[in-house]
Structure 1
Amino acid sequence: MLTEDGRHLYVSYDEYHGLIEKLAIKIFQSDWEFDTILCLARGGMRPGDILSRVFDKPLAIMSTSSYRAGAGTEQGNLDIAHYITTPKGEIAGKVLLVDDLADSGLTMHAVIDQLRNNYKAITELRSAVIWTKSLSKFTPDYSVEYLPTNPWIHQPFEGYDSLRPEHLIKKWSV
């Protein structure tokens, strides 16, 4: 649900999963055949996992990080892993790159540059995200929602960003 001021978007688990399913439909209807899904951890892990199951394709993971401070609400320097975890040796062929959103677009541009420069076995690369903000300098191949007001997206699992083990102990103590 988008707030009246357009500055915050609150997403429930049901809405979140529905958006991923709509993303799967868009990808399927494009008739593009791909070999592997490469998700960007952490935001792309949940969509990547679901898409991997729906399309019955192997899931590779590349770790990236820029939102660490302020319980994940403040963007810092972008870190991109030098290695990709994949169940099939080296990542190759046609690859679908998945993340949760195109925010500024810097992460997707940097990752695509790294993939094109360091992974010559990738023959074709397309991108998929749930949300694209209007301020993004990156246009994904597949996206479900365009956000003209650039709201902060409150995803349903973000409560875990500030939850610590001692909180769980207190919560689950009988």
Structure 2
Amino acid sequence: MVEQTELYVSWSDYHYLVEQLAVQIYRSGWEFNQIICIAKGGLRVGDTLCRLYDYPLAILSASSYGGSKNQVRGELKFSQHLAMTTEGLGDRILLVDDLVDSGLSLRESIHWLKQNYESQIQDLRTGVLWYKSCSVIEPDYYVEYLADNPWIHQPFEYYEQTTPAELAAKYGFDTP
């Protein structure tokens, strides 16, 4: 049995990777006018890129992980609609997520967007921080290629394993 490697990422490393993705996209010269992030993992990436580029952000909610420590892959589920504040969707889409593991979420998100917005989309490209070799799809932009397919411990993982009651105790507040 092959033991899975693990990668631990600090907040500063995480922000550095998002900035590197922004620079990579910029240096490519590709012109886009809409960012869509796949939530939850792509929220921080999408938020930062929309602030840097000053383009609207839309959110496609997707869920496939749960179980013990949120590390068990299950059925992929999508929201019914994009969440966005603009009246319409841009026609040159940058679709972002934090990583491609199996690649199924990214591949199916592209399929979902084409199924629901095909007439509005002229060009669609993808960007992630981490691209694992086990992925069924290669993103257009990525910062790190991970040949050994490690489990990535991102800095916000702490909040998936902590409760508000634990935080209250940590900061010396009484329970309600």
TM-score (norm 2): 0.93
5 Å-filtered alignment, 1:40-119, equals: 40-119=38-117
Deviations 1:68-90 (A, max 9, x none): 21131111110111200111123
Residue 132 of structure 2 corresponds to 133
Which whole-Å CA distance do the structure 2 matches of 1:89 and 1:75 have between them?
A: 34
Percent identical pairs in the alignment equals: 46
Give deviations 1:38-88, integer Å, cap 9, x for gaps. Answer: 001000000111111111111111100011211311111101112001111
Residue-by-residue CA offset, 1:83-120 (whole Å, 9 max, x unaligned): 00111123231010000001001011111011111102
CA distance in 1 between counterparts of 2:63 and 2:4 reads 26
Aligned residues, how many?
A: 170
Secondary structure of 2:41 counterpart: coil
Give the CA RMSD over aligned residues: 1.2
> Secondary structure at the residue paired with 1:95?
strand
Question: TM-score, normalising length from structure 1?
Answer: 0.94
Structure 1 unaligned blocks of 5 or more: none
Moved over 4 A (4+): none
Counterpart CA distance in 2 for 1:6 and 1:165 is 31
* SS, match of residue 43 in structure 1: coil
Q: Distance in 2 between matches of 1:140 and 1:89?
A: 28
Amino acid paired to 1:96 = L
